[in-house]
């Protein structure tokens, strides 16, 4: 029996957020099933971020059909869109777009407090295991501007996981990490994918974008490429390593 489909795109045009007339990727035909881990590779400006934002319902789809959890993404703000977004965690590129006026702990618990109307103490107790595993407990009272970027990325990941989403979208979080932090991310994402205690052992559906395939070869089980306005599904890890396509070799760090 097939697993439920989480993301389904048919002929979707992924456009630039600043210029909706400018397609970055078209057409995108893609199906993500529950429990899969997809790695979407591409160079800067290839449309990876816009693809994630489209899948998260943050950008409109001018052409094609997008269904998330089997339902079309609602066009207007409302309860249906809120419920959809509660099931999708997004970790934005760079420093993760944390809220600078909130402390690390307040950032992480904000979605819990907003949606479940929890007090700060109750929400802090709820996320305590996550904060400890992310080594953020000692930084809880700091503002994001006072901690390094490697830690703000973890805060952004913790915030995205706070509501225990079904689908987690990560935008190029491995870029520029030192080997220690890179190992932590690989191990944690691997654990999430296999079924982490935070998600009650349920395997997490993941979509990870990257501009370097090497750190994620052992994390992803499906790989795709966005390059030259084209969307291409490469296959599994073995197919990535066996690929002779120039774009793929480049993203594996091989120069001509």
Shortest CB 93 distance to other proteins, Å: 9
Strands 205-210 and 167-171: what pairing?
Answer: parallel
Are β-strands 23-33 and 71-72 bridged in parallel, bridged antiparallel, or unpaired?
Answer: unpaired
Does an H or E element contain 208, and which?
strand 205-210
Q: How far is it, in rounded angstroms, from Cα 216 to Cα 172?
A: 11
Q: Binding string, 195-234, against other proteins, x = CB under 8 A?
A: ----------------------------------------
Token pair recorded at residue 123: 């929400």
Stretch that binds other proteins, among 105-113, 127-135, 210-218, 221-229 (CB under 8 A): 105-113
Q: Could you report how far apart the first and last alpha carbons of the chain are, in Å?
A: 44
Candidates 118, 147, 177, 191; binder of other proteins (CB under 8 A) is: 118
Query: How many residues in the shown chain lie near other proteins by CB under 8 A?
Result: 29
DSSP character at residue 185: H
Q: Which stretch in 34-42, 67-75, 159-167, 218-226 sits in contact with other proteins by CB under 8 A?
A: 159-167
110 binds other proteins (CB under 8 A): yes
Q: Which is nearer to other proteins, 108 or 227 (CB)?
A: 108
- Please give the C-alpha separations between residue 40 and each of 88, 211, 218, 221, 233, in angstroms, as whole numbers: 17, 9, 14, 11, 9
Q: Are 32 and 203 in contact (CB under 8 A)?
A: no
At 65, give phi and psi (nearest 5°).
-120, 130
Strand partners, 5: 33
**Which range, of 116-124, 188-196, 217-225, 248-256, touches other proteins by CB under 8 A?**
116-124
Cα separation, 37 vs 189, in Å, equals 9
Pick one of 6, 28, 55, 90: the residue that binds other proteins (CB under 8 A): 90
Is 29 a binding residue for other proteins by CB under 8 A? The answer is no
86 binds other proteins (CB under 8 A): yes
In the bound state with other proteins, the residue whose beta carbon lies nearer, of 152 and 243, is 152
- With CB under 8 A as the contact rule, the residue among 48, 154, 159, 222 that binds other proteins is 159
- Rounded Cα distance between 256 and 247, Å, is 11
Decide: is 48 part of the binding site for other proteins (CB under 8 A).
no
Among 4, 10, 62, 99, interactor with other proteins by CB under 8 A: 99
Nearer to other proteins by C-beta: 12 or 88?
A: 88
Distance in Å, CB of 160 to other proteins, minimum: 8
One of 82, 141, 218, 245 touching other proteins (CB under 8 A): 82
Residue/partner pairs of 230-238 with CB below 8 Å, 24 or more apart: 230/25, 231/25, 231/26, 231/27, 231/28, 231/29, 231/30, 233/30
Contact between 60 and other proteins (CB under 8 A)? no
Which residues contact other proteins (rule: CB under 8 A)? 18, 53, 56, 58, 77, 81-83, 85-86, 88, 90, 92, 96-99, 110-111, 113-115, 117-120, 159-160, 163
């Amino acid at each position: 029996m097939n697993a439920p489909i989480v993301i389904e795109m048919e002929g979707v045009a992924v456009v630039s957020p600043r210029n909706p007339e400018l397609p970055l990727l078209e057409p995108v035909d893609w199906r993500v099933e529950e429990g899969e881990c997809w790695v979407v590779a591409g160079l800067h400006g290839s449309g990876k971020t816009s693809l994630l934002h489209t899948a998260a319902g943050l950008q409109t789809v001018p052409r094609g059909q997008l269904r998330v959890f089997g339902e079309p993404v609602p066009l207007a703000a409302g309860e249906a869109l809120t419920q959809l977004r509660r099931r999708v965690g997004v970790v934005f590129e760079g420093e993760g777009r944390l809220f600078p006026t909130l402390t690390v702990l307040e950032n992480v618990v904000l979605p819990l407090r907003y949606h479940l109307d929890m007090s700060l103490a109750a929400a802090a107790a709820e996320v305590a295991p996550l904060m400890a595993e992310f080594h953020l407990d000692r930084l809880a009272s700091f503002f994001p501007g006072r901690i390094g970027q490697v830690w703000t990325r973890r805060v952004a990941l913790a915030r995205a996981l706070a509501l225990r989403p079904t689908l987690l979208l990560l935008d190029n979080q491995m870029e520029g990490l030192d080997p220690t932090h890179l190992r932590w991310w690989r191990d944690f994402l691997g654990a999430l994918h296999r079924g982490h205690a935070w998600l009650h052992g349920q395997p997490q559906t993941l979509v990870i974008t990257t501009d370097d395939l090497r750190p994620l070869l052992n994390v992803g089980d499906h790989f795709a490429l966005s390059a030259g306005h084209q969307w291409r599904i490469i296959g599994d890890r073995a197919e990535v390593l066996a690929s002779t396509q120039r774009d793929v070799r480049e993203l594996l760090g091989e120069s001509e």
